[in-house]
Chains A and B, each alone.
Chain A
């Protein structure tokens, strides 16, 4: 079957670092994505990993371990505007995408 698991909700303090985990079991794998989605808005692309290792992009980094079916999104120097849902998604076919239910992150002052 196809399954993507993420924590439902996380809370962190402004200025802190938070790590959002994602585990997946899919029949195929062609890459893993992270999106940010503010309430009532469209998802915004954050990162794409297809090889094992860490990809860094400013305050956001994403890590992938294909052998473990595991990824995390690391957010540093948290800001209030980072309060949003973070969606993990896997492409299991050439252009076919499976999304997790998302992790709702609350950043507190």
Chain B
């Protein structure tokens, strides 16, 4: 069964550094999303992406964040200058064109900012 994959599974970085989190959505899916979940807290929507542009973004998704689909398979989240409070699990998700509301989540990347 096809699944969303994410790399790395765990990323440790120093405050102020840039990080890129990578995702490979399910191949025939058209809608892509990033979420984060701080340990013990709720899942928070960051951004949705369709047709090579951002569809919606939350208040969390400020100028420090950007997303890209550099080729036909990868979907990346970049954080320009990480802060301690960016430490969280970051989930990528994708959904098919005919069932846009059925999102499939990847296993997540745990980002630790020190």
Contacts and interface: CB of A to CB of B under 8 A. Distances in A.
Are chains A and B native binding partners rather than an unrelated pairing? Answer: yes
B45 A99 contact: yes
Given A94-B56, A95-B50, A95-B56, A45 B104 contact: yes
A95 B48 contact: yes
Contacts of A96: 45, 48, 56-58
Contacts of B56: 93-96
Interface residues of A, number: 23
A91 interface: yes
A31 B91 contact: no
B101 A43 contact: no
Nearest to A87: B43
A101 B45 contact: no
Interface stretch (B14-22, B67-75, B105-113): B105-113
Contact of A91 (B101, B102, B107): B101
Interface of B: 31, 33, 35, 41-45, 48, 50, 55-58, 91, 100-108
